[in-house]
A and B are shown apart, each in its own frame.
Chain A
Amino acid sequence: MAASADLSASVPADIKARGVIRIGSQQTFPPVEYREPGKDEVTGVSRELLDEVARRLGLKVQFVQAEYAALIPGLDANRFDVASGGISDTDEREEKVDFVNYMYAGASILTLAKHKTTFNTIDDFCGKGVATMLGSRVITAAVDAASERCKQAGKPTIRIEQLPSAPDARQQVDLQRVDGYIGDLPALAYMRQQFPGRYNIAGGDYRLTTYIASWGFNKRAPGLRDAVQRAAQSMLADGTYRTILTKWNLSDAALPEITVNLPASKRK
């Protein structure tokens, strides 16, 4: 199937002239966007979705490496057109950036395999420590709420350690400085698969919170945002969207519709 003429007409002129849609990403977040060890090419579920989106818009995808702190200033400075890498849509962030929502994500808890029966939900962590990635506001809020429940039940609270990247945070579990690492379920499933027999996901697939993985766009460039939304929606309509998610074992994460600025707080 060639690029749809209807869709490619909606691409803003400057991007159409360039022929390339630039994606800013940390590229260290499996299985969303990451590089296989020893390879330069970015791979992941978001990459495959964006490849297909770009193809339908008659464009090519180009990845630009950017640290988390540089993602949003990079959008402002027109260093790239899309900020990606598993960022989630929240009301607070929508004041600064527009989002095209592309999949469900949720935080689960990774523990050592030997603690399989000890920890099933966050409420089993009273008096214990958990590690998260720095800046996971949604997660820390959920842990604080659970910590409050511990206090009401007369138990000690939950301690949170925040670290700058997922590997750093996970290492605290290996060191047993904490008993759980809270991160994206797909990322945790990927880690468990990388180290067979070492880790367990609490309660099988227990979800602490749900959030909406999204691509971020400059508020001053709604044209590209709408073009990407329409292209992704057409993929959802003809089944390509679900095929790609299924390939990455993420069929549970499929959204019923590709939306713009619809965070988890506004969903049922």
Chain B
Amino acid sequence: MTMKSVAQASATVDDTHSRQTRKRIVHRRAWGSWIFAGVVLGLLVAIVDAAVSAHVVDASVFANYLFSRKILEGAGNSLLLGTVALFAAGAVGLIAALMRVSGNPVLATLSSVYVYLFRGTPMLIQLIFWFNAFPLMFPQLHVAIPFTDHVLIDGPMTEVVTPWIAALIGLSLAEGAYMAEIIRAGLRAVDTGQRDAACALGMRRGQILYRVVIPQAARIILPAAGNQYILLLKSTSLASAIGYLELLRVTTDIYSANFRVVELLCVAGFWYLVMTAFATALQMLLERLYPHR
């Protein structure tokens, strides 16, 4: 088509124009990739067509439950758990990362043992541990102000460690181990020359951290932290195993009554996608605050 149009153009327009047209760059067509794209699209159409004609999903059931109160409540709880756990994990991760780079051998070892343990075991096991094993090991929680008779908390551990608390502790500590590594990588990526320069200007340690290191480290930390937020939002589904009322548990509850398993899993999937879109938008916004130079 392009060769032909070039030829037509040169035949119909005057000399000056035709000289310009001859100079136009004609890109070579990558026929192989277009054929592949066609095959992929064709397969996609065939799969969607097969799925629709098999009536796997009853669209009216899907639509009925998509905005039902229980589902929205579960999705809200998932979002809440994932978000609170992200901030808690950020705090835990920051402390662990600072311990690791502190230069103190005890703190650095403790931090790396923490990361090893909590990154090395499945989150599901950790959640069940906090919910079941922890109250078995410490049946009574007694918190008092030292050297006084003032008791803050005194009660059975099971009343303190509710499904919500167990899920929050479990997700925060597991995620904190990943955040520690991400933050440490960010801190280490800031050249030591920067610190030396700030030191030479007479800045104190805290000032160097706040004014020089963190703004630069944030550029490296934020995209990775956004990624972890998305993972964490999806990991809240694990809390259904300990009875926290989140999206997957609500969904399971409904489909075990009416057996519309696929439709309700699609409803849950839809809301996880919405949450992920929210997290992605938030991440892009934050990245704009600390743009790459």
Q: Which A residues have a C-beta under 8 Å from some C-beta of B?
A: 68-70, 72-73, 76, 90, 92-93, 95-97, 134-137, 161-164, 168, 171, 174-177
**CB closest chain-B residue, reference A69:** B261
CB distance from B61 to the nearest CB of A (A): 10
Q: Contact at A163–B255, with CB atoms within 8 Å?
A: no
Q: Contact at A96–B163, with CB atoms within 8 Å?
A: no
Q: Contact at A177–B240, with CB atoms within 8 Å?
A: no
Q: Contact at A163–B242, with CB atoms within 8 Å?
A: yes
Give how many B residues have a beta carbon under 8 Å from the other chain's beta carbons: 24
Neighbour of A134 across the interface among B135, B156, B253, CB < 8 A: B253
| B116 interface hit (Cβ, 8 Å) | no
In Å, the complex CA distance between A97 and B253 comes to 17
CB distance from A174 to the nearest CB of B (A): 8
List 12 extra interface pairs beyond A134-B240, A162-B243, A171-B132, CB under 8 A. Answer: A68-B256, A69-B255, A96-B260, A134-B253, A135-B255, A135-B256, A137-B256, A161-B243, A162-B249, A168-B242, A175-B158, A176-B158
In Å, the complex CA distance between A96 and B57 comes to 12
Q: Contact at B257–A135, with CB atoms within 8 Å?
A: yes
Q: Contact at A93–B252, with CB atoms within 8 Å?
A: no
| B107 interface hit (Cβ, 8 Å) | no
Number of residue pairs spanning A and B whose beta carbons lie under 8 angstroms apart: 63
In Å, the complex CA distance between A168 and B131 comes to 10
| B262 interface hit (Cβ, 8 Å) | yes
Residues of A within 8 A of B258 (CB): 92-93, 95-96
Q: Which B residues have a C-beta under 8 Å from some C-beta of A?
A: 56, 132, 135-136, 156, 158-159, 163, 240-243, 249, 252-253, 255-262, 265
In Å, the complex CA distance between A163 and B239 comes to 10
Neighbour of B256 across the interface among A76, A134, A161, A177, CB < 8 A: A134
**CB closest chain-B residue, reference A93:** B259
CB distance from B267 to the nearest CB of A (A): 14
CB distance from B220 to the nearest CB of A (A): 39
In Å, the complex CA distance between A205 and B262 comes to 37
In Å, the complex CA distance between A168 and B240 comes to 12
Q: Contact at A162–B253, with CB atoms within 8 Å?
A: yes
Q: Contact at B132–A72, with CB atoms within 8 Å?
A: no
Q: Contact at A73–B262, with CB atoms within 8 Å?
A: yes
Residues of A within 8 A of B253 (CB): 134-135, 137, 162
Residues of A within 8 A of B257 (CB): 90, 92-93, 135, 137
**CB closest chain-A residue, reference B257:** A137
In Å, the complex CA distance between A175 and B255 comes to 29
CB distance from B94 to the nearest CB of A (A): 33
Among B159, B241, B249, B259, chain A packs the most CB atoms within 10 A around the CB of: B259
Q: Contact at B249–A134, with CB atoms within 8 Å?
A: yes
Residues of A within 8 A of B255 (CB): 69, 135
11 sampled A-B residue pairs with Cβ under 8 A? A69-B265, A72-B259, A134-B243, A134-B252, A135-B255, A136-B256, A137-B253, A162-B253, A168-B132, A175-B132, A177-B159
Q: Contact at B241–A164, with CB atoms within 8 Å?
A: yes
In Å, the complex CA distance between A69 and B260 comes to 10
**CB closest chain-B residue, reference A135:** B256
In Å, the complex CA distance between A72 and B190 comes to 55
Q: Contact at A135–B252, with CB atoms within 8 Å?
A: yes
CB distance from B290 to the nearest CB of A (A): 41
